[in-house]
Amino acid sequence: KRQSDQPPGVECINDEPKQTGLSRDIRADRSVFAETAMLLSAFSSFLLIQLASGLEEGDRCSINGQNGVCLVRANCPEYAQMKQLGVRPRICAYKTGPREPIICCPALASGNDRRNVRRSEQYCDQYRKLASTEIFVGPLTPGAELNRHLVPQCDESLGLIVGGQESLPGEFPHMAVLGWSECGDDRDPEFRCGGSLISDRYVLTAGHCVRTTKANVVNVVRLGDHHLYERGDGMREVTLGIEAIVVHPEYRPSESRYNDIALVRLNQTVTFGTNIRPACLWPTNQLNETRVVAIGYGDTEDYGSPSSVLMKVGLEVLPNDLCRGLYVEERKLPQAIADSQLCARSPVDKQPRDTCRGDSGGPLQVALTGHRCLYYLIGITSFGKGCGAAGTAGVYTRVAAYLEWIEGIVWP
């Protein structure tokens, strides 16, 4: 017989195992091990409580500067969205018995009822986390709470206000481009309009961009791209089909240029990443910034050719009362420039810059104050007089004027 087949500490006599002194030692060791495991389990529970925030269920809390209340995870209506977006919840405490975490549930604190917070703003709080990496730094004081920091996922040293130049790969991860094809064949689409990703299923664009005929159909949306016709640009772009198109009910292109806005529902849920993530929606008609940025793949000059690389241009918001004087004689603008529109032009100290054909539907945006990796959409490229002509301004659909309509479809 092979001695190695028998386990250590066991003799076989008449095929019956007999415990030896070594086995008794093992039993004693197991008893000590069990006691140690219980102590470690209790100690780990103590550590979990210490690492939590020291709050209790129902206490007020804050997460990423947003007010909230400590709730059992199962009772937090925002937890499913946080999990989908990969957002790590802040732990307030742990329930005794079954160790269930109590988390800081955002936008639920007393005095800041979440019903008073727009759905688009609630989702913007989640998008802000996508544009950052969360790190925790240990404090010098024993037992103190870990310090939380958000590190932006972009190069903040880049000047945002620039004029008429190629963007950097991944600089505008919300940029979308709409593709047309003949008779619905999506193998070789022609990209003619831009758009902005605002959720995991919807792209915001201009109403005039989605008009189709039976022989010419807008049927694809590309996300996360930089060079439209080069696959070796290092970008992980995706091309998705279109499930539905919703044009604003008051958009009547044969009569006017007002309400030039539409939503495109994608045929599948978008997976967010470094080069694909949504932009926020500017929540008010008041603008704190006058310098804004437009992006697109449109013509680089009047009567020129479309760009195959995503371009960016720094513009200046022109007050509506001044812009109205530029469009007083337009047949399709009986009110001249309406409050639901805004104008932007090249800064007065710069060479003429503008959006052009092919940029329609694309975003006019500002960077979030203190966080230049996240963008707020303030306008949708609509129309203009020529491209960059002196003394003119481009006209954009004002996003804030349509928030209720957008939210009712995207986040009902």
Q: Is 302 a catalytic residue?
A: no
Predicted TM-score (pTM) of the model is: 0.68
Residues 6 or more apart whose CB falls under 8 angstroms from that of 409 comprise 202, 246, 263
Most confident of 21-25, 66-70, 364-368: 364-368
* pLDDT (0 to 100) of residue 372: 63
Q: How confident is the model at residue 239 (pLDDT cuts 50, 70, 90)?
A: very high
Give the model's pLDDT for residue 165: 82
Q: Is the pLDDT of residue 176 over 90?
A: yes
Q: Report the pLDDT value the prediction gives residue 11, as an integer from 0 to 100.
A: 37
CA distance 132 to 88: 12
Which tens digit of pLDDT belongs to each residue from 95-106?
766 678 888 887
CA distances from 201 to 198, 215, 408 (A): 8, 26, 14
Query: Region 325-350: what's the mean pLDDT?
Result: 87
Please tell me which residue in 225, 260, 299, 354 is annotated as part of the active site: 260
Confidence of residue 44 (pLDDT cuts 50, 70, 90): very low
Quote the CATH superfamily of domain 165-410.
Trypsin-like serine proteases (2.40.10.10)
Domain residue extents for the chain: 60-152, 165-410
| Confidence check: pLDDT of 54 > 90 | no
Amino acid found at 6: Q
User: What average pLDDT score do residues 225-242 get?
Assistant: 84
Residue 29 appears among annotated catalytic residues: no
**What does the pLDDT read at residue 323?**
94
pLDDT at 246: 97
The per-residue pLDDT of the chain, averaged, comes to: 75
186 is catalytic: no
Residue 391 falls in which region: left (phi positive, over 0), alpha (psi -120 to 50) or beta:
left
Rounded CA separation 305/322 (Å) = 31
Q: How confident is the model at residue 142 (pLDDT cuts 50, 70, 90)?
A: low
* Confidence band of 10 (pLDDT split at 50, 70, 90): very low
Q: What mean pLDDT comes out for the span 313-322?
A: 92
- For the cut 80, the answer to whether the pLDDT of residue 220 exceeds it is yes
Instruction: Place 56 in a pLDDT band, splitting at 50, 70 and 90.
Output: confident
The pLDDT value recorded for residue 228 is 85
Check whether 354 has a pLDDT greater than 50: no
Candidate list 208, 226, 227, 248, residue with the active-site label: 208
Q: CB of 91 within 8 A of CB of 52?
A: yes
* Candidate list 167, 346, 360, 382, residue with the active-site label: 360
Contact 309, 175 (CB under 8 A): no
CA gap 326, 386 in Å, rounded = 13
pLDDT in tens, 271-294: 998 899 999 999 888 887 778 999
Instruction: Report whether pLDDT(159) > 50.
Output: no
CA triple 300-263-372, angle to 5 deg: 60
The reported pLDDT for the residue numbered 217 is: 78
Q: How many CB atoms lie within 10 A of CB 63?
A: 22
